Chain A
Amino acid sequence: MTGSLQQAPGPFFGEFGGRFVPEALMAALDELTDAYEKARIDPVYTDELTRLALEYTGRPSIVTEVPRFARHAGGARVWLKREDLNHSGSHKINNVLGQALLTKRLGKQRVIAETGAGQHGVATATAAALMDLECVIYMGEEDTERQALNVARMRLLGAEVIPVATGTRTLRDAINEAFRDWVANVDTTNYVFGTAAGPHPFPAMVRDFQRVISVEAREQMLERGGLPDAVLACVGGGSNAIGSFDAFLDDDSVRLIGCEAAGDGVDTGRHAATLTGGRPGILHGSRSYILQDEEGQTQPSHSISAGLDYPGVGPEHTWLHSIGRAEYWPVTDAEAMDAFRLLCRTEGILPAIESSHALAGAITLGKELGPDATLLVTLSGRGDKDVQQAAEWFDMLPGGDA
């Protein structure tokens, strides 16, 4: 379709994206791009991916209307796209199965990945176990502490987890370390990148693997009376959001809203709201928005959610922001945690703290639009991994105030 914004091929999205990496990685990125371009039109590959989605991940994921929750969102109709019900607990599996299958096609036996909250690490360890690949996960030391259960989970699945103690000891340092591993081991190793950021082909490829979210959801909403007025998803690097937006990009009536982590508040400086508080630059291989100081040094980000605690954002989001097709709203830790508790108590669904940022956005938008509006929120992951942290936040642990 002429003029479609869907499935933009990269390497550039407007002036954003590209491939700013050491020369040593260029051949591997070319090889990966080439393998992906061939695989995506090869029925042997696409049929296997479809079979895995059906019989392993449990796709299509359902949509659930949440009327008791919606009473707190201006009475709008609110639907959740339930990526939390996927095998391994989040949307990350959609991407990882695609990249792990590609690793097999490349003839490589080892995968590496970065992880923040652990969702992508768990998904990668899952796919590696399924496909008999050696698996090493890099995770910031601070994140291994706040997500200790996911570390154990990855180890149970047979992966080696390497805590990264440099820099801010979070996702961004895990990515640096994964790139260092890759440049030394690129002959045998494929880097299974977790989000729609990084050098080409990752932003476009990860988006393609996550696009299934919006393709299914659009169909599901049409069956239930029509397109929603808005689609909301949380944005760290932005893979579930770009997957949630893509099939709706040409539906001009559908607002697309990415909810960034505003931490303690954008004006406090302790946040991870890159499109709200950042400016253009180059980080981790692509040109996008970055939280950086006036000299170009990356600034530490902050969010209660390890999965959103990243000072960059995928280049396609920056492009959508620049052309005005998508909006990016800051959501604070406190707003996200209120939405987390509200969904637990009104619907019996325990969301990931990451996804709770999108729920908070829906509460705000619902109040603005009122009962005639229909909102679709991507529930990107489940909150089992967040129980300890949430219980501490709400002071619910035994020996607390009880």
Chain B
Amino acid sequence: MSALEDRIDEIRAQGRAALIGYLPVGYPDVDTSIAAVVAMVEAGVDIVEVGPPYSDPMMDGPVIQHAAATALERGVRVDDTFRAVRAAADAGAQALVMSYCNLMLSRGYDRFAADLRAAGGVGVITPDLTPDTGQEWIDAARAHEVDTIFLAAPSTTRERMHLTVGASRGFVYATSLMGVTGERASVGDAAAQVVAAARDAGAARVCVGLGVSTGAQAAQVATYADGVIVGSAFVKALGDGGDLAALKAKVAELAAGVRGDA
């Protein structure tokens, strides 16, 4: 059992779902983004995901695209990701990285895993790397005791679900819909179906992301998932001005949601 798995189980024993918050590093600037990570933890995020901005974010909608582009224009570096990981871990959260794979490949999978571990990070979510082409990464992550978190989608077949669940450590990231990151008016039935399919394939822990932005949506997802992942709504609250108070208010709303208090 990894530290991340322990933490999710501990939260489940409290009768609630975990709140997982995503922020891109360097938005609106590096120092503010690190302060924002700490603010998220103080306001009730259990698990932090930080993302090194990437030049070609194929899975992201307009809010995170804008944040990533802003951060890159201002000179963010991949090293800053590990500073943010350290800040999240020091604040008491389990710290993850969500990264497009070319940044990991460019640094070297082994060095990426080692650097994450050294910074106190526990796992990596790979939106454009699946277990079929991810074996080199999986080997490096296992060697450094870093959890490998893969995505499952509404389109994932039964066979692929077994592959995904088998290769995942920490949790399986169930995407609630077919599409890119961003807020949606509602979280549809597909999310519950993906979670059920992952559990059928043997997943012990499944968290849901994409499109969750309100306390009510979080409360609904918390009825069937082990964790609720929120990204764009937090990024939007933080905004170009780096509004930590607005971010904390949004986190508090979602934190109440995962406790069924929405």
Say if the beta carbon of B22 comes within 8 Å of chain A.
no
Identify B156's interface contact among A23, A284, A297, CB under 8 A.
A23
Say yes or no: is B55 at the interface (Cβ < 8 Å to chain A).
Answer: yes
In whole Å, how far is A104's beta carbon from the nearest beta carbon of chain B?
Answer: 21
> Does A105 touch B at the CB level, under 8 Å?
no
Contact of B151 with A23 in the complex, beta carbons under 8 Å: yes
Contacts of A167 in B (CB 8 A): 55-56, 69
Chain B's nearest CB lies how many Å from the CB of A30?
8
A180 close to B180 (CB less than 8 A): yes
Q: Are A295 and B178 in contact (CB under 8 A)?
A: no
Whole-angstrom distance between the Cβ of A239 and the nearest chain B Cβ: 20
Contacting pair A20 B128 (CB below 8 A): yes
Report the interface size class on chain B: 35 or more
A19 to B55: give the CA distance in the assembly, Å.
19
What residue in chain B is nearest A187 (Cβ atoms)?
B178
On whether the beta carbons of A297 and B128 are closer than 8 Å, the reply is no
Answer whether residue B14 sits at the interface, using C-beta atoms and an 8 A cutoff. Answer: no
A63 contacts the other chain (CB 8 A): no
In the complex, A19→B65 CA distance in Å?
23
Interface residues of B in 128-151 (CB under 8 A from A): 128-130, 132-133, 150-151
Contact indicator A176/B57 (Cβ below 8 Å): yes
The one of A27, A186, A282 that contacts B160, using a Cβ cutoff of 8 Å: A27
**Residue in A18, A24, A296 whose CB lies within 8 Å of B106:** A296
If over half of A's interface residues share one DSSP class (helix, strand or loop), that class is named, otherwise mixed; here it is mixed
Q: Write the chain B residue with the least CB distance to A25.
A: B155
- CB contacts (< 8 Å) of A185 on chain B: these are 178
Is there a chain A Cβ closer than 8 Å to B164's Cβ?
yes
Which residue of chain B has the shortest Cβ distance to A290 in the bound complex?
B102
CB of B186 within 8 Å of the partner chain: no
Q: Which residues of A contact B127 (CB under 8 A)?
A: 22
Q: Does A166 contact B (CB under 8 A)?
A: yes
Q: In the assembled complex, which residues on chain B have CB atoms less than 8 Å from the CB atom of A21? A: 58, 128, 130
Using Cβ atoms and an 8 Å threshold, which residues of chain B touch A285?
A: 128
Q: Which of B44-84 contact A (CB under 8 A)?
A: 54-59, 61, 65, 69, 72, 77-78
Q: Is the CB of A295 within 8 A of B107?
A: yes
One digit per residue, 1 when the CB lies within 8 angstroms of any chain B CB and 0 when it does not, for chain A 50-94 equals 000000000000000000000000000000000000000000000
Closest chain A residue, CB of each to CB of B52: A295
A183–B65 alpha-carbon span in the complex (Å): 16
Residues on B with C-beta less than 8 A from A30 are 157
Give the complex CA separation of A23 and B155 in angstroms.
8
- The residues in B between 97 and 127 inclusive whose CB is less than 8 angstroms from any CB of A are 101-107, 127
Contact of A176 with B56 in the complex, beta carbons under 8 Å: yes
- Is B58 touching A282 in the complex (CB atoms < 8 A)? no
Choose one: B55, B65, B129; the contact of A297 (CB below 8 Å). Answer: B55
Q: Are B179 and A184 in contact (CB under 8 A)?
A: yes
Does A281 interact with chain B (Cβ within 8 Å)? yes
A25, B133: Cα distance in complex, Å: 14
Asked if A276 is an interface residue, CB under 8 A from chain B, the answer is no
Residues of A within 8 A of B101 (CB): 20, 282
**Closest Cβ–Cβ distance, residue B152 to chain A (whole Å):** 6
Q: Identify which of A19, A294, A298 contacts B56 (C-beta below 8 A).
A: A298
* Contact yes or no, A296 B107, CB < 8 A: yes
Give Cα distance in the complex from A167 to B60, angstroms.
13
A179 at the interface (CB under 8 A from B): yes
User: Cβ of A18 and Cβ of B133 under 8 Å apart?
Assistant: yes
Chain B: minimal CB distance from A295 (Å): 5
Report whether B58 and A295 are in contact in the complex, using a CB–CB cutoff of 8 Å.
no
CB distance from B216 to the nearest CB of A (A): 23
- Residues of A at the B interface (CB closer than 8 Å) are 18-28, 30, 166-167, 172, 176, 179-180, 183-187, 281-285, 290, 292, 294-298
Give me 16 A-to-B residue pairs in the complex whose CB atoms sit less than 8 angstroms apart, sorted by A's number. Answer: A20-B101, A20-B129, A20-B133, A21-B58, A22-B151, A25-B155, A26-B160, A27-B155, A28-B155, A180-B58, A183-B179, A282-B128, A292-B106, A295-B107, A296-B54, A296-B78
For the complex of A and B, list the 3 residue pairs with the smallest distance between their C-beta atoms, beginning with the closest. Answer: A296-B106, A24-B153, A184-B179
